[in-house]
């Protein structure tokens, strides 16, 4: 799911299309994959942190929604005080992604 086109393919049957902020293209660009269930056709999961979100509205901007929950998730990880160096590296990479204003995987040097 690191590749945009693969994420985009998961949005077949996504209930929001043209004229909405949360189009399949915008969702995939923000790093989401479509993971619908029987009674929730609008469930999307961030493939990077595995958080699922549902209850999308046409005006929801996936990039802004993602930034909101990434900041909250990272804050809770840091508050736990983990001494794990790989966790610190992951948190650092995620902050870089947020600061860049878009979802793009960093280079190996970023890890």
* Tens-digit pLDDT profile for residues 5-44: 999 999 999 999 989 999 999 999 998 999 999 899 999 9
pLDDT tens profile 38-50: 899 999 998 887 8
pTM to 2 decimals? 0.65
CA dihedral angle for residue 75, residue 35, residue 58, residue 12, rounded to 10 degrees: 140
% of the chain beyond a pLDDT of 90: 41
Work out whether the CA dihedral 13, 17, 20, 26 comes out positive or negative: positive
| Total number of domains constituting the chain | 1
Q: What CATH number is associated with residue 16?
A: 1.10.1170.10
- Tell me which residue range forms the domain holding 41: 4-110
Please tell me which residue, 75 or 95, carries the higher pLDDT value. 95
């Amino acid at each position: 799911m690191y590749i945009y086109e693969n994420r985009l393919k998961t949005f077949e049957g996504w209930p929001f299309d043209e004229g909405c902020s949360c189009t399949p293209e915008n969702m995939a660009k923000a790093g989401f994959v479509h993971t619908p269930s029987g009674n929730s056709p609008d469930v999307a999961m961030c493939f990077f942190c595995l958080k699922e979100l549902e209850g999308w509205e046409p005006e929801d901007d996936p990039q802004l929604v993602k930034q909101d929950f990434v900041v909250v998730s990272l804050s809770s990880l840091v508050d736990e005080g983990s001494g794990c160096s790989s966790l610190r590296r992951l948190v650092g990479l995620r902050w870089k992604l947020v600061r860049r204003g878009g979802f793009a995987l960093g280079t190996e040097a970023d890890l």
